[in-house]
Amino acid sequence: MVEKTLLFHLSDIHFGLEHNRALDWVAAEIASRNPAAVAITGDLTMRARRKEFAAAKEWILSLDVPVTVEVGNHDMPYFNPFARFFTPYARFKGMAQLVEKELQLPGIAIVPLKTAVRAQPRFNWSKGWVTGPALQKCLDAIDGLPEGTRSLVVCHHPLREVGTQGTALTKNGGKALERLARRGDKVLAVLSGHVHDAFDITEPTESGPVRMIGAGTLSQRLRSSPPSFNELTWDGEELCVTVRNLQNVSTKDMMIEDVPEDARPPRHPGDPVAPVGNVPRTDPPVR
């Protein structure tokens, strides 16, 4: 019998506005189910405040399993432009070893792809950007995997590029997907966050389809579904996704059918306004 690999995909915990009951449940699930790895696809904090990072570090380091952490747009210094430009990752101190960390497991690897950047030549810096060096680093890591090892690419923003370069959810996302598609079945899926709702869709590219799997949020910043995380099982042939949540809503009902163009969740009363480098927010339609 083939041994299954169990992986947990968590995202958008947003310490500062985290969902404590859900987090206690997830920590207990990790302790009892003992997944081979936990991938956290960014937005650890609300506003990259030191106390939010301290809470994130305490929770993450308490997990007794391999963890890899992606950087989200909320994890860059928010109120301090100098720190944002010159030391954007300084506040990960104490867990920096987990940031954008590749994890190799038997037969499967988790390979990071950075999509959150400190600045970009458009108004909305909350959106993603796959830079040339970031994409090359990811592709090199995939190409360097041992023969037969499959990969899960992890990033914060879904690699969705609709509209113009200026409005795309993730600039160069389409190019990244096409390059990943060229790797054929070496790339099992791209795991992302940012949207705060779960999904599992197949995106066509010129070089073939790529599966994109999104995890929901473990924060109070809910979009259209309760707090959740994704449980992934890999049996050597099939990657199965279950959206776990405290309300026992079925995976099918937890998932949205497409990645929204504007992934911003509704404004929360605790959210500050007028962020540095971001356009003012307007609420998206209720879904």
Positions touching Fe ion (CB under 5 A) are 12, 43, 72-73, 194
Q: CA–CA separation, 197 vs 270, rounded Å?
A: 20
User: Considering the complex, what minimum distance in angstroms separates the CB of residue 30 from Fe ion?
Assistant: 21
Angle between helices 173-181 and 132-143 (to 10 degrees): 20
User: Considering the complex, what minimum distance in angstroms separates the CB of residue 156 from Fe ion?
Assistant: 6
User: Considering the complex, what minimum distance in angstroms separates the CB of residue 12 from Fe ion?
Assistant: 4
Which one, 29 or 271, has the nearer CB to Fe ion?
271
Alpha helix (H) ranges present in the chain?
20-33, 50-61, 81-86, 132-143, 173-181, 251-254
Instruction: Give DSSP secondary structure letters for 51-105.
Output: HHHHHHHHHHHT--S-EEEPPPGGGS-SS-HHHHHH-TTGGGTTSGGGBT--EEE
Which one, 72 or 158, has the nearer CB to Fe ion?
72
User: Considering the complex, what minimum distance in angstroms separates the CB of residue 73 from Fe ion?
Assistant: 4
Whether residue 211 contacts residue 188, with contact meaning beta carbons closer than 8 Å, is answered with yes
3-state SS class at 43: coil
User: Considering the complex, what minimum distance in angstroms separates the CB of residue 147 from Fe ion?
Assistant: 35
Among candidates 178, 185, 101, which has minimal Cα distance to 150? 185
Which one, 214 or 239, has the nearer CB to Fe ion?
214
Which one, 151 or 170, has the nearer CB to Fe ion?
170
Which one, 36 or 130, has the nearer CB to Fe ion?
130
Whether residue 148 contacts residue 106, with contact meaning beta carbons closer than 8 Å, is answered with no
